[in-house]
Structure 1
Amino acid sequence: MSDIFSGFFSGFADLVARLAEVLQPVFHTTATAAAIVLFTMVVRLAVHPLSRAAARGQKERARLAPQVAALRKKHAKNPERMQKAVMELHAKEKVSPLSGCLPSLFQLPAFFLMYHLFSTTELGGEANALLGHSLLAAPLDGRWHDALGDGGVFGPAGLVYLALFALVTAVATFNYRRTKRQMAANPLPAPGGADGQTMPGMGAMTKFMPLMSFMTLFTVAVVPLAAALYVVTSTTWSAVERAVLYRDVPGGAGAVAPAM
């Protein structure tokens, strides 16, 4: 089994290396980093049909919102019956409440593949040649703490990370504002008990959810730079994709979904 995985990783490393060779005349020493960005875009393009399906599902859920609200009011004193009724409504209308998670779930293997590829010194019994590549002054197998130890925040490698952090912050801010608008237009349901009180912790969750976009900053800081490039490219793609797919949904729904 280990030989199968080793051969798989070696084959993927060869794919990245060959793609970098094709891009080398244009991107020169940053060709491998450009290959990672291009690979991420190919993955996102392959997952795009799932994203479109998720958008259609979200629009259908928005259409069913009045009926769901009526069911919640009708079964306010019986949460189990209310949940069953909502699930039956979704099944009847062929709407999956989990469709919005599928694009992110299908990207996880690609992310972990990139993480492993630039965290392993040997592939197939040979030295991992990809570890010698960099994005400007920052090694693709390095992390932010490596950059801090080699020149500091404003050193050559540190500046590369500052640029990535700036891009992530801009995208996260865009997602944050969209999420706030979405939650204002479509508040999270807060079923209560017999006394009509809301569920404990629902208010804290409502305040925390818009901030989830900024968690990408932590990811970029701790994973190898190659994996960080995947995350940054994918997150940026998600922001643009959702802005287009959810443009006619009140409040820009979909911004709450994980943005990998």
Structure 2
Amino acid sequence: MDIYSFAPVAIVLDFAYSLVSGLADLLTPLAGSLSTAAAIVAITVLVRTALIPVGRSQVRAEFTRRRLAPKLKELQQRYKKKPELLQQKTLELYTAEKASPLAGCLPTLLQAPVISTVYGLFILQGINGHPNSLLIDHVFGVQLGAPLVRFIADGAFWPGVLVYVVLLCIIATVAGLSRRAALRNAPPPAEGLPAGMQNLTGILSWMPFLTVIFAAIVPLAATLYLAVTTSWTLAERAILRHRYEKTMAT
């Protein structure tokens, strides 16, 4: 079953189509042929602006986990011969402090419907019964509905390939910087947690690189969205961490 043909999803997709088309029309005097790409960037910024409270709570949870590190160490020393009780007490501490090792997944989960909608807008020939005119829009000669694989298969490498190279390089660079920041700001692992959760920070630190792979196989419009949203995340985290560090120092 095509999920995009499901009535509620088709209605949401039709609304998104109208939103992107309307924004593109408004931006045409400024952006010209790049108006649809500019509309995608604008929508990405709007989505990320709405998610700022989520990012703030995420960084707050990060600092909470760092603050809990001494308490976790104390629990580990006290219950090191009772692993089951240590696990229970550790989880109770996280619960009491409203902190979670899984907090970093929330923004990604909240953005999943958005990226799915952008993906649908640029792969479907028709949306809710009418033709999809977004498919013919382009960025420097590359159609927004074309993934990198199809673009290469068509044999049109230059200069359009630069669009993909630039976007993928941005995403890869942001992924590397994000991983470095995540490891630098991660609290010490809690020995009382199950083995999988002990290594959760290290495992999750590699997740940004999955975005690079995903960005190479989705339509260019979705790649553009990913480049903007990952760059926003990196900058937002850096600003929020700096503010929390200043607050803690005073």
- Determine which structure has the larger helix proportion and give its number: 2
Distance change (3 Å), C-alpha of 1:212 and 1:249:
farther
Q: Does 2:149 match 1:109?
A: no
Q: Aligned ranges for residues 138-157 of structure 1 at < 5 Å? A: 138-151=142-155, 154-157=157-160
Amino acid at match of 1:166: C
- Name structure 1 gaps, 5 residues minimum: 194-198, 251-260
Name 1:229's counterpart in structure 2.
Answer: 224
Please give the secondary structure, in 1, of the residue aligned with 2:74: helix
TM-score normalised per structure 1: 0.82
Residues 78-105 of structure 1, C-alpha deviations (whole Å, 9 max, x = no match):
3332221122222333334443322221
2:140 to 124, 136, 139: 136
Please give the secondary structure, in 2, of the residue aligned with 1:105: helix
Tell me if the contact between 1:131 and 1:139 (Cα under 8 Å) persists in the aligned partners.
yes
Name 2:53's counterpart in structure 1.
Answer: 49
Name 1:82's counterpart in structure 2.
Answer: 86
Deviation for aligned residue 1:211: 3.6
- Name structure 2 gaps, 5 residues minimum: 246-250
Residues 178-220 of structure 1, C-alpha deviations (whole Å, 9 max, x = no match):
234335xx34334599xxxxx59978x7765544332221111
Please give the secondary structure, in 2, of the residue aligned with 1:60: helix
Amino acid at match of 2:164: Y
Deviation for aligned residue 1:108: 0.9
Residues 201-242 of structure 1, C-alpha deviations (whole Å, 9 max, x = no match):
978x77655443322211110111111111111100000011
Name 1:256's counterpart in structure 2.
Answer: none
Tell me if the contact between 1:150 and 1:157 (Cα under 8 Å) persists in the aligned partners.
no
Amino acid at match of 2:235: V
Deviation for aligned residue 1:176: 3.1
Deviation for aligned residue 1:38: 0.8
Tell me if the contact between 2:145 and 2:219 (Cα under 8 Å) persists in the aligned partners.
yes
Identity between Structure 1 and Structure 2 (%): 34
Name 1:247's counterpart in structure 2.
Answer: 242
Tell me if the contact between 1:137 and 1:160 (Cα under 8 Å) persists in the aligned partners.
no
Deviation for aligned residue 1:22: 0.7
Distance change (3 Å), C-alpha of 1:218 and 1:134:
same
Residues 125-148 of structure 1, C-alpha deviations (whole Å, 9 max, x = no match):
111111111111111111001221
**Deviates most, 98-107 or 224-233:** 98-107
Deviation for aligned residue 1:50: 0.9
Amino acid at match of 1:67: K
User: Partners in 1 of 2:193 and 2:121 — Cα distance?
Assistant: 48
Deviation for aligned residue 1:162: 0.8
Deviation for aligned residue 1:63: 1.0
Name 1:181's counterpart in structure 2.
Answer: 184
User: Partners in 2 of 1:202 and 1:60 — Cα distance?
Assistant: 17
Deviation for aligned residue 1:35: 0.5
User: Partners in 1 of 2:59 and 2:96 — Cα distance?
Assistant: 19
Tell me if the contact between 1:168 and 1:216 (Cα under 8 Å) persists in the aligned partners.
yes
Q: Does 2:33 match 1:33?
A: no
Name 1:216's counterpart in structure 2.
Answer: 211
Distance change (3 Å), C-alpha of 1:145 and 1:94:
closer
User: Number of residue pairs matched?
Assistant: 241
TM-score normalised per structure 2: 0.85
